[in-house]
Amino acid sequence: MLLDLKGRNAVVTGGSRGIGRSIALAFARAGANISICARGETTLRETEKDISACGGVAQKVHAAACDLADAAAVEKYIAAAAAALGGIDILVNNASGFGLSDDEAGWAASLNVDLLAPVRASRAAVPHLAKAGGSIIHISSISGLMHSARTPPYGAVKAALIQLTLSQAASLAVKRIRVNCIAPGSIEFPGGSWERRKTSDPALYNGILRSIRFGRYGKPEEIANVALFLASDAASWVTGQTIAVDGGQMLG
């Protein structure tokens, strides 16, 4: 019963595939009204249908294309989501620009989508979240908790997102808004980067696999389960926390 989200309004950015899709589906199954956004129209509409199919007939489902690197587009999307759902109780900042290369393009992609989009989405959503004592969940990465020599922009910005979680949790507690963060390990799903690396760079894929104590890559659903807990009343006294979900990957 504590994981019941019936009647709550949840917004999931980057919600059309992978971790975001799994979170949106898990929230819908728990009874929440759902809004998702993504850049790709095709996968966005497919996921919108999947969410509608797994939720109840009375649930509201909203989906909109949005370039999260565009400040005005983020503000417009949050306003549209709030209008479509009738408010916002839960905000999940999941999208990533996957800025991997240590150059201007890599840093811009990570900063604009992985950090500034959550800042902007949170700012736009706070007036709605404050009405019901809501919850913000940021999706970071274990790359933000350890060195990231292979992908410096990604690691540095994910670390900044963890720090943002602490700062927001402290400043928004007076509004009864909880702010937490999930740091996934390496997650494999159809069409995802690790599935592609399995054939394009098997040495890297297998090297990462060997580093995971549980002997396998994670599943998006395993991140969604933790997000469901953090969004629910079961986590009513949890704020300012970052939870690593990595199958022991950081243990080395």
Confirm whether 167 is a catalytic residue.
no
The whole-number pLDDT of residue 1 equals 53
> What pLDDT is attached to residue 98?
87
Apex CA 169: angle with CA 164 and CA 174, to 5°?
140
What is the rounded CA–CA span in Å between residue 15 and residue 43? 9
d(CA 159, CA 30) in angstroms, rounded, equals 30
Q: Which of 22, 96, 135, 158 is catalytic?
A: 158
| pLDDT tens digit at each of 252 positions of the chain | 579 999 999 999 999 999 999 999 999 999 999 999 999 999 999 999 999 999 887 799 999 999 999 999 999 999 999 999 999 999 999 999 988 899 999 999 999 999 999 999 999 999 999 998 999 999 999 999 999 989 999 999 999 999 999 999 999 999 999 999 999 999 999 988 899 999 999 999 999 999 999 999 999 999 999 999 999 999 999 999 999 999 999 997
In the chain, where the domains are located: 9-187+219-244
To the query of whether residue 22 is one of the catalytic residues in this protein, the response is no
Query: Virtual CA dihedral for 190, 191, 196, 198, nearest 10 degrees?
Result: 0
154 is catalytic: yes
Q: Point out the catalytic residue in the list 35, 135, 140, 143.
A: 140
Catalytic residue among 154, 186, 217, 232: 154
Phi and psi angles of residue 63, each rounded to the nearest 5 degrees, phi first: -140, 140
193 carries an active-site annotation: no
CATH number of 9-187+219-244: 3.40.50.720
Tracing tokens 């979170």 back to the chain, one arrives at: 23
Instruction: Catalytic residue, from 135, 141, 186, 232: name it.
Output: 141
